[in-house]
Structure 1
């Protein structure tokens, strides 16, 4: 049934390969737990007690509540699918309560540090130098996700209109504007890429030193290299630059709905987490400036 479920997600729901891999891993882990703990090989024979036992085992094993809830969400989707296909008589996840997640504020880079990072790094006038700068500028200048950055093609860039077309989660397409300096950087990078690898180089915008499509760890290492040198941010990942993009926009008065659309969030609640950082800044200004504070 798991194979049928994955095919349903791939062909009917059109989930991305990355999401399918995560679902498959979660279900495989649960299936292995059932076999090892209960000698149970049939996921359709599961009760809420089996599920509670698994959730408890994950929590006691040190897994974060956020990761546990993601796995539980996978099982909810799976058993909802089985219920619709009449493979089970009732959904065992209904009686399972998700662990409460301790919400933390997104990590971001301060504006002064971001300026120092982009203004003071001596990027060499080579393909690698233009590529490294482009990665940092695109993540910070557009707020796109790492997966979206890696899937960008040269054809997704419209320099005439100054926008990029991004394919986000659930294959939702959105158009993001680029500032003029970023447009010029993209233009120079594309020229450098063609000069380095020829007109028949990879159709993907971002490539490695060998001209092949860039991959997640390649970008992680690149971002950590520069953030670690010029910022005091505790976390140094591509996603931190996405958080920084959203926080800086809101700090400067951007409309929350506009930021939501730029980030590709499906609900406003996902974007509102960034307002906490903005509110902290306003509170400090108030306490320093108001005579009754």
Structure 2
């Protein structure tokens, strides 16, 4: 069974082009499943059946696994079963009928347009000398933010990071993975390598272009060093900006600006919501976000109360 797990991991990485994080999660689930199968008396992979699969999920549920975790583990089992059947290791795709609980998805905080604008301007405010109150009330994330009077390049980097995240709706991993050559200044688009190695071109607006121009002319050259390579966004020490640090930067500026708790994912969701509220087609938003199916976009975005009210007032005879 160990050999089959290794082959499955190789299939996910090489054939399905899954990320290292996804491969690790799926392999962990499959190892847990096969350990449970052995405890139930299975001596060979071919003895795996639906009863064992359901028993494994039931045990996970009794151990307190969340609905999202159960849904992912069921998906791991279905993917493994389908692969094992195609590879001749299972006589049938035993996990095909395996049901999984519908994962409950909590939508992140969505900023209003004016709040998003305030966040975009936050790096500029950070450059102003703070008063005594500001100094004593610095948020925990402030360690990742430039202090007043700190080198201008860091502020320029933070501004372009925020403008790109909100202006394009790309994922934080995609933003940190951008190279200088991925920016097409003439067409105002960035070339993004998304999940599954899928490439897409995402447009950005004039504010992001201005932030990029200043960053590339004055900010990046000042931070660049031997380890910078072709990375577009750099950390304070000159290496490629780390997604974890970028998340703390976004959260810190949001708190400093007095906004609700905000993450890069929240900015992505805000961008999609504002596009829909502005009349963008759902298919266009799907393409911009890099979702493989429209269902993902429908779950990821939501229609604001204001838009529902406007539609009601326009269409309902008793409005």
Which TM-score applies when normalising by structure 2? 0.81
CA deviations on 1:65-90 (whole Å, 9 max, x unpaired) are 22221221111111111101111112
CA 1:84/1:288 → structure 2, altered by over 3 Å: closer, same or farther?
closer
Does the Cα contact within 8 Å between 2:176 and 2:243 map onto a contact in 1?
A: yes
CA 1:285/1:166 → structure 2, altered by over 3 Å: closer, same or farther?
same
Offset of residue 111 of structure 1: 1.5
SS in 2 for 1:63: coil
Residue 55 (structure 1) aligns with: 57
Question: Which stretch of the first structure deviates more once superposed, 167-176 or 96-105?
Answer: 96-105
Question: Which stretch of the first structure deviates more once superposed, 264-273 or 37-46?
Answer: 37-46
Gapped runs of 5+ residues in structure 2? 128-150
- Once residues 37 and 215 of structure 2 are traced to their aligned partners in structure 1, the CA distance between those partners, rounded to angstroms, is 51
CA 1:39/1:146 → structure 2, altered by over 3 Å: closer, same or farther?
farther
Question: Which stretch of the first structure deviates more once superposed, 217-226 or 25-34?
Answer: 25-34
CA deviations on 1:84-105 (whole Å, 9 max, x unpaired) are 1111112231342111334554
CA deviations on 1:158-212 (whole Å, 9 max, x unpaired) are 1222110001122111111111221121122223112222487331212221112
Residue 284 (structure 1) aligns with: 309
Offset of residue 22 of structure 1: 2.6
Does the Cα contact within 8 Å between 1:146 and 1:216 map onto a contact in 2?
A: yes
- Once residues 82 and 108 of structure 1 are traced to their aligned partners in structure 2, the CA distance between those partners, rounded to angstroms, is 42
Residue 149 (structure 1) aligns with: 175
Question: Which stretch of the first structure deviates more once superposed, 215-224 or 21-30?
Answer: 21-30
- Once residues 182 and 138 of structure 1 are traced to their aligned partners in structure 2, the CA distance between those partners, rounded to angstroms, is 6
Residue 229 (structure 2) aligns with: 202
CA deviations on 1:44-83 (whole Å, 9 max, x unpaired) are 4322222212212323333332222122111111111110
CA 1:164/1:96 → structure 2, altered by over 3 Å: closer, same or farther?
same
CA 1:127/1:275 → structure 2, altered by over 3 Å: closer, same or farther?
closer
Residue 117 (structure 1) aligns with: 119
Higher relative contact order (CA 8 A, sep 6+): 1
CA deviations on 1:5-61 (whole Å, 9 max, x unpaired) are 1112222222233322332233234344445x5476754432222221221232333
Gapped runs of 5+ residues in structure 1? none
- Once residues 266 and 45 of structure 2 are traced to their aligned partners in structure 1, the CA distance between those partners, rounded to angstroms, is 38
Residue 92 (structure 2) aligns with: 90
What do you get for the CA RMSD once the two structures are aligned? Answer: 2.7
- Once residues 273 and 250 of structure 1 are traced to their aligned partners in structure 2, the CA distance between those partners, rounded to angstroms, is 13
- Once residues 96 and 137 of structure 1 are traced to their aligned partners in structure 2, the CA distance between those partners, rounded to angstroms, is 43
Which TM-score applies when normalising by structure 1? 0.87
Size of the aligned set, in residue pairs, is 290
SS in 2 for 1:18: helix
Does the Cα contact within 8 Å between 2:168 and 2:203 map onto a contact in 1?
A: yes
- Once residues 15 and 266 of structure 1 are traced to their aligned partners in structure 2, the CA distance between those partners, rounded to angstroms, is 14
Residue 18 (structure 1) aligns with: 21
The equivalences for 1:7-86 within 5 A come to 7-34=10-37, 37-38=39-40, 42-86=44-88
SS in 2 for 1:94: coil
Match of 1:5 among 4, 8, 16: 8
- Once residues 72 and 5 of structure 1 are traced to their aligned partners in structure 2, the CA distance between those partners, rounded to angstroms, is 16
SS in 1 for 2:90: coil
